[in-house]
């Protein structure tokens, strides 16, 4: 059976490669509609036969490095486990704490705090690693922003992942940046297709803003939009005034609608968006000046997802970690419609599928 | 020879499972007398053939996550090495530093500092991991306790490990909590049985309080008591006034005495307890209000284990790390009676035995 | 082919062992001239067949622990990847953060901050690990030194690595101490021999001091000197007044000159040292009292390596991380003479060669 399993995996991987020969997975649109669909098939195979696949050690002798500028529970664990089960070595680096502090600006005279430049770090890590993965959030905390006028580009700051993309010779996975969390997006496609019985094409999916004490980046909601569009969903995005998603990224995602049959509707009414949806995907995010987040979010507690809002929806999703009784009530999260645990579980197979695609 | 070794391991593991089908190793009493004895046999087999067992990669394709809320040298290293030699992937997570800060209270409105609830963290990590392991000490530092009256339940605070036990679907190992360090206890049984020539049944074992600048939790001494009782020892526990061990836990351990023939004697005289003992096991611990520890421990330097106290004893044991010339003199620790290094070495095989029992 | 590759590796390793049976790699001189040359052959074999060697999993079931008292990017990653590709388990410990704080002084009464003594830590880690590796820099920051007279021995402080060498029963690799970075030195020999077409015997090599805001230890430059001497180079060391390398270590290295035909020339003229060199190896380092570093280094910006200085040299080398436009200009570092990336890449194969030598 194992040689048969091995040949099934080879066949599935070959199908991904027919559609996608790239070595960057940065916003999740790279594999395209066909490539993404083929990647999900590899993920399904891994998921169905996880222990058997693990015993094959298909990627033994291979290595990857994960460089984390920010905390992680799911992303770190699922990535290291996916790599490890396939037989790979995974090196976890906590940037700034266990490594040197890093500079990204070109032409810098480095007589200050930064000890290492990405122009060396990225190619050096590429020599040791068959794959690199990097997580770096934008600095949007109120105390990071300081006084002075707000520069809207800060919310779109992808300096770190772009610099790694420019200077790394190894294949690169974005483990969450300012504007994208593509592994989450890929896992969400798998989850939505599970909920839809193999596909969610044409089905209503609701993405709803929800309250959160911090002005979080839009990486996850934008990745949900991309996932919904790639899968051909009827996507309804609900957000209160002042919390619209990044216009440029929304337009880029929408450009795929024609080929997949997806539709995007935006609304200020979370109940209408949720009603009849296959899944209500909640997420808190900021928009514009982070210093105005608290004031703008005041009085929006009715955006917390509760049982009433879920009444005519099938499943509740969230990328986790989730603020209980702020984003969503305990009643919903602990209730039968919540699918957040299998949703998180889907991170491992989709990431394994990426590794198999690049390294098998 | 390897297939013969493999079948010996399968047979030994089957014997554990005859007596114990549980998936929690929290205070170390779970496998019972017979199950514990069978676990030690698996550990002995692993220890005798460590490199050969390692080459078999019996658990390849499997993964475990170790979540550490507190520092570790032996526990982390021995757990990761045991898993790794068997072919497993081991993910090390440093709670709070590399991960999100975690909440444990039910019904919480999470608009404060805590970003993730154990109700998600435990099941999510269970999906990526075939085994979970958690280390979380109670907060007993004088500065943690603050002013106000002392609540005795703080010394017994097992919130973290209990929450993981409640919410994790994967098998769970306690890597030290307020009241138990069961892997240490299991290793101590192996060490004591080595010293006793295969068993320490009926032999005198001395557990003695020793000075330490901090009011440490009672996890280790209570696990020594449980180990001694499970192995049928004649246990003598010596502690000065004000440093008695937890009454409830002592009673629970004592309930095993009848079936194993163990006896527990408590005394205020460390010399009497040590005299003629197979092993003198020293440990510093606190009792009651941590703010009174320093005052209560003043003038108790004669409890430091020295050569005179060891005169009529066979071996000196300590779980490590040990405060030299506070807990025990250099003369004893560096002398021929000290067995603390092989004692620490025994951590790896007993933990490997647990993994084999659950995953082979 | 794989069994043939395996037997080639066995043969190459056997040749190392003919010349070197030691279990300490602390300053890099231990394997001697012949042993080092044989080690490089193992490294070349690993490098040429890295993925194939990885698939052989020659060291499966083995484990090593890397204990880091200081940050690392290349050293940690290359060491973990080398071990992992060979099938080993690698445990990364961040001293002081994820572990207990450690004491090194004999006879200490440990009632202060330090929780664990190296006399336990080293032998205990040796029981779990087939190889240990330790990184510990001397404390030379201006704020560490404090007021009072300067003790020159602080710059030579190898307390940590020496204590581990004394108390560890497992083979030990120094991953950088006050006076040596021997894995870097071994990788540098491989790089220099690549540049020289298989050997750099008799070829001019320039080691030049370069500006750096901090008074760094001399570990790397001294290891470059040892590497150059072991390989029989015509070494020219350029440093401004006040920045001479450690006399005692220079004399020890020079004692190898006779057997290898190496020569060491010291100069205050970086242009003369660089002219006609196979490689210009730049590095910032301190000398003497760190509190005088800034004043002594003022006005020495002409020591920054630029295109003019490189005009008659073949290659530029640096151990990394490198301060851009302080140590070396962007023009040189990003130009065709820079070989710093393949130089860093050579860390993995030489470290794999050490592991194979000790554990195959």
Q: Which chains touch C (3 or more CB pairs under 8 A)?
A: A, B
Helix axes A159-167, A118-128, angle to 10 degrees: 60
Question: Does B55 reach chain C within 8 Å, measured CB to CB?
Answer: yes
- The SS3 call for residue B315 is strand
> Mean pLDDT score of chain A, rounded to an integer?
96
Question: Does C115 reach chain B within 8 Å, measured CB to CB?
Answer: yes
What pLDDT shows up at residue A141? 84
* CA–CA distances in Å: residue C331 to residues A166, C21, C334: 18, 45, 6
Residue with tokens 């001395």: B206
Q: Which chains touch B (3 or more CB pairs under 8 A)?
A: A, C
C-alpha to C-alpha distance for A33 and A122, rounded to whole angstroms: 29
Domains of chain B: 2-180+347-359 (3.40.50.1370), 184-345 (3.40.50.1370)
pLDDT at A1 > cutoff 80: no
User: Which of A2, A51, A54, A91 best probes binding to B when mutated, by most B CB atoms within 10 angstroms?
Assistant: A54
pLDDT at B149 > cutoff 70: yes
- What part of B 316-355 touches C (C-beta under 8 Å)? 320-326, 330, 333-334, 340-342, 344-345, 347-348
- What is the per-residue pLDDT across C204-243, written as a single tens digit (0 to 9) for each? 999 999 999 999 999 999 999 999 999 999 999 999 999 9
Residue with tokens 């049959």: A261
Q: Which of A68, A73, A80 sits opposite B89 (nearest CB)?
A: A80
What pLDDT shows up at residue B1? 53
β-strand partners of B264: B235
What pLDDT shows up at residue A34? 97
Q: How many CB atoms lie within 10 A of CB B48?
A: 11
C-alpha to C-alpha distance for A171 and A122, rounded to whole angstroms: 11
What pLDDT shows up at residue A53? 98
Burial of residue A149 (number of CB atoms within 10 Å: 0-12, 13-18, 19+) = exposed
- Answer whether C102's CB lies under 8 Å from C117's CB: yes
- What part of C 75-104 touches B (C-beta under 8 Å)? 88-93, 97-100, 103
Question: Does B62 reach chain A within 8 Å, measured CB to CB?
Answer: yes
Question: Does C110 reach chain B within 8 Å, measured CB to CB?
Answer: yes
Please answer yes or no on whether C81 and A129 come within 8 Å at the CB atom. Answer: yes
- What is the per-residue pLDDT across C291-307, written as a single tens digit (0 to 9) for each? 999 999 999 999 999 99
- The SS3 call for residue B27 is coil
Q: What percent of chain C has pLDDT over 90?
A: 92
- The SS3 call for residue B121 is helix
pLDDT at C2 > cutoff 80: no
C-alpha to C-alpha distance for A302 and A270, rounded to whole angstroms: 9
Q: Which pair of tokens denotes residue A310?
A: 């879920």
Contacts of C330 in chain A (CB under 8 A): 106-107
- What is the per-residue pLDDT across A186-208, written as a single tens digit (0 to 9) for each? 999 999 999 999 999 999 999 99
Q: What is the mean pLDDT of residues B286-310?
A: 94
C-alpha to C-alpha distance for B260 and C325, rounded to whole angstroms: 73
Q: What is the mean pLDDT of residues C235-261?
A: 96
Shortest CA distance from A127: residue in chain C: C345
β-strand partners of A174: A134
Q: Which candidate, B112, B127, B97, C94, places its Cα nearest to that of A72?
A: B97
- The SS3 call for residue A264 is strand
Shortest CA distance from A345: residue in chain B: B127
C-alpha to C-alpha distance for C90 and A89, rounded to whole angstroms: 9
- What is the per-residue pLDDT across C44-72, written as a single tens digit (0 to 9) for each? 999 999 999 999 999 999 999 999 999 99
- Answer whether C119's CB lies under 8 Å from C167's CB: yes
Query: Comparing C257 with A100, which gets the higher pLDDT?
Result: C257
Asked if the interface predicted TM-score (ipTM) of this complex is over 0.90, the answer is: yes
**Nearest-CA distance from A345 to chain C in Å?**
25
- What is the per-residue pLDDT across C87-119, written as a single tens digit (0 to 9) for each? 999 999 999 777 888 999 999 999 999 999 999
Q: What is the mean pLDDT of residues C181-198?
A: 98
Contacts of A89 in chain C (CB under 8 A): 80-81, 83-85, 90
**Residue A305 binned pLDDT confidence (cut-offs 50, 70, 90):** very high
Q: What is the mean pLDDT of residues C21-28?
A: 98
pLDDT at B2 > cutoff 80: no
β-strand partners of A206: A236, A280
Contacts of A98 in chain C (CB under 8 A): 68, 71-72, 76, 92, 94
| pTM score, whole prediction | 0.97
Task: For A149, list phi and psi in degrees, rounded to 5.
Answer: -70, 155
Instruction: End-to-end CA distance of chain B: give it in Å, rounded.
Output: 19
Q: What percent of chain A has pLDDT over 90?
A: 92
């Amino acid at each position: 059976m194992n040689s048969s399993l091995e040949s099934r995996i080879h066949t599935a991987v070959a199908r991904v490669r027919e559609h996608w020969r790239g070595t960057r997975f940065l916003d999740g649109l790279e594999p395209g509609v066909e490539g993404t669909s083929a990647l999900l098939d590899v993920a399904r195979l891994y998921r169905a036969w996880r222990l058997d696949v693990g015993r094959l050690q298909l990627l033994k002798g291979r290595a990857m490095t994960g460089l984390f500028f920010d905390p992680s529970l799911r992303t770190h664990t699922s990535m290291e486990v996916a790599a490890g089960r396939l037989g790979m070595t995974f090196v976890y680096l906590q940037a700034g704490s266990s490594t040197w502090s890093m500079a990204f600006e070109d032409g810098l005279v480095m007589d200050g705090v930064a000890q290492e430049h990405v122009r060396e770090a990225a190619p050096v890590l590429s020599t040791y690693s068959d794959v690199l993965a990097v997580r770096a959030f934008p600095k949007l905390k109120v105390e990071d922003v300081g006084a002075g006028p707000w520069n809207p580009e800060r919310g779109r700051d992808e300096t770190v992942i772009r610099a790694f993309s420019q200077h790394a010779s190894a294949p690169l996975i974005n483990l969450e940046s300012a504007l994208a969390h593509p592994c989450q997006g890929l896992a969400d496609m798998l989850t939505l297709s599970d909920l839809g019985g193999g596909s969610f094409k044409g089905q209503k999916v609701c993405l709803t803003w929800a309250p959160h004490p911090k002005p979080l980046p839009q990486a996850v909601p934008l990745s949900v939009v991309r996932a919904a569009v790639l899968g051909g969903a009827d996507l309804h995005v609900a957000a209160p005034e002042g919390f619209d998603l990044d216009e440029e990224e929304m337009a880029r995602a929408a450009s795929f609608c024609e080929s997949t049959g997806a539709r995007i509707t935006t609304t200020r009414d979370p109940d209408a968006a949720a009603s009849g949806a296959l899944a209500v995907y909640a997420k808190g995010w900021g928009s514009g000046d982070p210093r105005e987040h608290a004031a703008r979010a005041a009085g929006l507690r009715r955006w917390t997802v509760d049982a009433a809002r879920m009444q005519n929806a099938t499943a509740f999703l969230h990328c986790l970690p989730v603020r209980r009784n702020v984003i969503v009530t305990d009643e919903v999260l602990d209730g039968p419609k919540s699918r957040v645990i299998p949703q998180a579980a889907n991170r491992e197979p989709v990431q394994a599928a990426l590794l198999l695609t690049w390294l098998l």
